[in-house]
Amino acid sequence: MTDTPLSLAEADSTLFTRLRRWWSGETANPVKRVQFDRPLTPWMFLLPQLAVVVIFFYWPSVQAVTSSFYLEDPFGFGATFVGLDNYTDALTSRGYMSTAAFTAFFCVVVTALSLGLGLLLAVKADKVIRGAETYKTLLISVYAIAPPVAGLIGMMFFDMHMGPFTQIAAWFGHDLRVGIDYWDTASALIVISVWKQIPYNFIFFLSGLQSVPVSVREAALIDAKSGWRRFCDITLPLLAPTAFFLLVINITYTMFDTFPIIDVIVKDKPANNPMTLVYKVYLDGFKGNDIGGSSAQSVILMVVVALLTVLQFRFLERRVHYG
């Protein structure tokens, strides 16, 4: 990828050459200097992956887009074309908007807390010598725990009868009612989601820190005496690519991968509980049988997540460059 702007004529000719290359199968930068030149063999190798992608990715995705324009009979007797009604219904409903607002709030809080704590622990783990390996293992091991298991353990900690957090809250005179009170449930969701995500951020920040050359660290030690200054002026800028990359990953995590945690805590009882947009797609589609509405919400989310992924790829490129 080049950053130099192309003149119009150049851009034109590049477009043309690109199209020609695209058709003939060459790429601008050939992946390999030498390649096999057989017409059928590559298709044989590609076939399994392509089949899976077409059947299980493109077919359902196209179906999501089409059924978002239809109002489907809940009992399966045909569907009526309703144009953009499902979209306008979703975007103007108060339920959807409050869910969207909560999702945004949830994303900001979970991302900020898990990135912050992950970074703090990584900086400290990078510094200590005694016990470094033990700390590392302890901090990483939780990564492998599945979100629903995290949700289950979290649920026990917030249990109204015997949960330790409920007892601690009671000391401060707060009656913690997770699953009934909106903000109590929200806090539980946040604590569990952050707990689950810290190890991931820790791993990436630590490997980012450890790739900083020793000479840079030593120079920094001579130049800046205060650890905080060193952190702000040297470490943070060097970690920026990792941090941006993780930012996108964490937003995606909070939007999608927290589904099991919400499902375990909220348990299909949306009554007065907070939930994310993805959970609403599931509830409306599978519990509410509103297939058109659910599909429209899916398509809206597809747009959001596609944008996020494009961002992620831009940062991924940069991350590799800093290497």
Residues 259-278, interacting with other proteins (CB under 8 A): 259-260, 263-264, 267, 278
- DSSP 3-state of 221: helix
228 binds other proteins (CB under 8 A): no
CB 90 within 8 A of CB 298: no
Q: Report how far apart the first and last C-alpha atoms of the chain are (Å, whole number).
A: 16
256 binds other proteins (CB under 8 A): yes
**Binding positions for other proteins, 208-227, rule CB under 8 A:** 221, 227
Altogether, the residues listed in the chain come to a count of 323
36 binds other proteins (CB under 8 A): yes
- Nearest-approach distance from CB 33 to other proteins, in angstroms: 5
Q: Please say which residue, 32 or 94, places its beta carbon nearer to other proteins.
A: 32
CA dihedral sign of residues 66, 70, 73, 74: positive
Which listed range, 5-13, 108-116, 169-177, 252-260, lies at the site for other proteins (CB under 8 A)? Answer: 252-260
Unique residue bearing structure tokens 């809940």:
74
Main-chain dihedrals φ then ψ at residue 79, nearest 5 degrees: -145, 150
Q: Please say which residue, 9 or 215, places its beta carbon nearer to other proteins.
A: 215
Give the number of residues in contact with other proteins, rule: CB under 8 A.
105
249 binds other proteins (CB under 8 A): yes
- DSSP 3-state of 269: coil
- DSSP 3-state of 40: coil
26 binds other proteins (CB under 8 A): yes
189 binds other proteins (CB under 8 A): no
Compute CA 212 distance to the chain's CA centroid, rounded to the nearest angstrom: 26
Main-chain dihedrals φ then ψ at residue 89, nearest 5 degrees: -60, -45
CB 277 within 8 A of CB 90: no
Residue by residue, DSSP assigns 106-136 as HHHHHHHHHHHHHHHHHHHHHH--TTHHHHH
**Cβ of 220: how many Cβ atoms within 10 Å?**
17
**Cβ of 65: how many Cβ atoms within 10 Å?**
14
- Nearest-approach distance from CB 207 to other proteins, in angstroms: 5
Q: Give the residue, chosen from 207, 229, 232, 237, that forms a contact with other proteins under the rule CB under 8 A.
A: 207
**Binding positions for other proteins, 287-306, rule CB under 8 A:** 291, 294-295, 298, 301-302, 305-306
DSSP classification of residue 39: S
**Binding positions for other proteins, 71-130, rule CB under 8 A:** 117, 120-121, 124-125, 127-130
Q: Please say which residue, 7 or 27, places its beta carbon nearer to other proteins.
A: 27
- Nearest-approach distance from CB 164 to other proteins, in angstroms: 6
Q: Please say which residue, 5 or 323, places its beta carbon nearer to other proteins.
A: 323
Which listed range, 4-12, 80-88, 172-180, 254-262, lies at the site for other proteins (CB under 8 A)? Answer: 254-262
Which listed range, 6-14, 56-64, 88-96, 108-116, lies at the site for other proteins (CB under 8 A)? Answer: 56-64
